[in-house]
A and B are shown apart, each in its own frame.
Chain A
Amino acid sequence: NAGVTQTPKFQVLKTGQSMTLQCAQDMNHNSMYWYRQDPGMGLRLIYYSASEGTTDKGEVPNGYNVSRLNKREFSLRLESAAPSQTSVYFCASSDLRTGVRSNYGYTFGSGTRLTVV
Chain B
Amino acid sequence: QKEVEQDPGPLSVPEGAIVSLNCTYSNSAFQYFMWYRQYSRKGPELLMYTYSSGNKEDGRFTAQVDKSSKYISLFIRDSQPSDSATYLCAMITGGGNKLTFGTGTQLKVEL
Contacts and interface: CB of A to CB of B under 8 A. Distances in A.
A104 B102 CA distance: 16
A106 B46 contact: yes
Contact of A42 (B92, B94, B104): B104
Interface in B44-58: 44-46, 49, 51
The interface residues of chain B, by DSSP majority, are classed as loop
Nearest to B49: A105
Interface in B31-55: 32, 34, 41-46, 49, 51
Interface residues of B, number: 24
B95 to A, nearest CB: 5
B97 interface: yes
Given A40-B103, A104-B32, A109 B43 contact: yes
A110 interface: yes
Contact of A33 (B46, B49, B94, B98): B98
Interface in A19-64: 31, 33, 40-43, 45, 48, 50, 58
A84 interface: no
Cβ-closest 7 pairs across A and B? A42-B103, A108-B43, A105-B46, A50-B97, A43-B101, A110-B43, A104-B32
Size bin of chain A's contact surface:
20 to 34
Given A40-B8, A42-B102, A104 B95 contact: no
A110 B42 contact: yes
A48 B97 contact: yes
A58 B8 contact: no
